[in-house]
Structures are given as C-alpha cells and as structure tokens.
Amino acid sequence: MANQCNILVTGGAGYIGSHTVLELLNNNFTVVVIDNLGNAYKDEKAEKPECIIRVEKLANKSVIFEECDITDENSIEKIFEKYKFECIIHFAALKAVGESCQKPLEYYKTNVGGTINLLNVMKKNNVKKLIYSSSATVYGVPEKLPLTEDMKTGNCTNPYGRTKYIVEEILKDLCASDPDWSVISLRYFNPVGAHPSGEIGEDPNGIPNNLMPFIAQVAVGKREMLHVYGNDYDTPDGTGVRDYIHIMDLASGHVKAIIYQKTKNIKGFKAVNLGTGKGFSVLQMIKAFELASSKTIPYKIVERRPGDISSSYADASLANKELNWVSTKNIDDMCKDTWNWQKKYPQGFKSGSIQ
C-alpha cells in the first residue's frame, strides 16, 4: 500500500520550491519532493540536495526526496505507486526568459510536455488537486496596469511565457472536461529575497538570469558588474519596472492556496496573482541593494533583451479576498534578506554545510 502523504512538490529543490516546502512543513504538511537536480546542488555523498537538508534543519522535520525528471512519465508513475497524495504543487520547469528564446524546444518539452506527463499520472491515480506555478508573463505586453486576473492572456513575448500560457489553457480544458478537477494557477510576479535566517536562498547555476541574484553576486565580488538591459523604456528612469515579491510571501501564498482549495472545496480552474501591487525599476533596485549591503554596485547600460517588456505589476486584491493572503515584506526586506544569504554563502549551497 502506498504511503499517505499530503503534498507532492515537483521541482521542490529549486528556489521557490524549497522555500515553499519549508512553509508547508511549518504548517504540518507531510511533503514528498521530486526534482531532477537540474538547478539544485547536491553533494555526491549526501542523500538529498543541500537546500532540502537545510530546510529539514530549519523546520526540524524531515522531507522525503526522490530524484525524478518530469519529462519521464514512467518515473512519475513510480512515485505515485509509492506514495498517496492529496494535492500536487507543480514548480518543475525551466524558467529563464532569455534562455527560452535560445532553446525553445527544451522549454516546450519540459514545461508543456512534462506537465502533460504529470497530469496523465494524476488522472490515472485520481489525484485531481493541483496548485500550478504560473507567471505574470502569461499576460504578455500589458494592455493596462495593474494586471488583473480577468485580463487577456496569451500575447506572450517569449517562449517561457508561452509555455506557461499553454499549460494554463491545457488546465482550463482539463477542468472543463471533468468537474472533479481543482486547479489554482498562481501567477507570480518577480520572486526575490531569501529566508530571513540566510540559510536558504536563490542559488542559480552559472550566470544568473534574474536581476536580484546578479546584483547580489556583484555585491559579494563574484561578478564584476551588472548589465542593465535598456534605459529607453517608457518608465520614470528608462529602465524596466517590475513587481518584486519576497520569496517568503510567495511561499505563504501556496500554503494559503492549499488551505483555500481544501476548506472551500474549490472546483475548476482559478488564476490568482501573487505580487505586491508596486513596481520598482532596475535602477531603484540597485539603489535599494546598495543601501542594504553598504556596497557600490557597478553597472553598465546595454541593449534591451529580446522578450522583455517595459513595466509589469499586479493587482493582488483577488489573492487577498479569496486566499486571505497579502504581501507583508517590502523592498528593504527583499534586499536585506538577499544580502544576508549571499554574504553568508558567497558560493551558494556549494559553500558548505549549514552554519
């Protein structure tokens, strides 16, 4: 007989996944994490990735970890044979906008194909509750701001955004075909920050694709300077404006979504924005980080990147109304916690075991 576990977290050794797993443990859920370790550090002598070992120490609880790639349906099958789940949180995906323009097939294979594999196995095992890790990129170029969940999706500017949009459409069709499915698609804006302990944070492989880890690596001396992509956008200072959300606020949104799904017996497909409702430009983020770290961040203005838009920020009132969720942390918390993590572990998880 399969072991009873509440939650399966795909991609649970990634940045958002690991912080969410910690929140789940703190809320007394039992968790199984699957991950292909494509973006997670694991010591060859260890049974689990370093971030999961640290999550266990912070929560003082254990996590079941299984190495598994969602592009392999058979390996997902084996997980479902071994454990019994109430709900799936699906993070496993490739997530860099720029890279998706260079490697579209890989993005479609993992993000769309991998999700179809997962849904097939869920359907076979009659597990029909899903929290999907979506993105504000599904809105494409905003018609107006702030972005609300009822706005048009699909006018995406890059393959990454399109994969998230396509999966949302698949999920809508699935829910329309079978009223037992319950899917909450959380559309994140820009997750940043780290756990306040500084023990877990964002640890990208190779060159970071996102602004905050890049700034942090420049501040700690790991990189020489930051490239700012474009200063001719229609924004107050010409640099791109984004809605940055603290990773701990984002993680708590997933726990709230699970509780909401269960207690209100939600059926069908529901999209919910997770953001702060405020936008900050790249130059404002640099300035805030300089204040938090007492470091100067050298930067150079370079050409715009393909697939980038000028501004994006959320209307997060639906999350407040339905999930009883609100963001609690500001830009200073985001910068302070990122710097705390980066300074403590300049090489990320490879820096060694928990201090």
d(CA 338, CA 335): 5
d(CA 21, CA 43): 20
Structure tokens at 129: 């509750």
Active site residues: 160
Structure tokens at 89: 């949180």
Other beta carbons within 10 angstroms of residue 193's beta carbon come to 27
The DSSP bridge partners found for residue 186 are: 133, 272
d(CA 257, CA 269): 13
Q: What angle do CA 283, 276, 310 make, to 5 degrees?
A: 45
d(CA 263, CA 251): 19
By C-alpha distance, which of 69, 84, 89 is closest to 24?
89
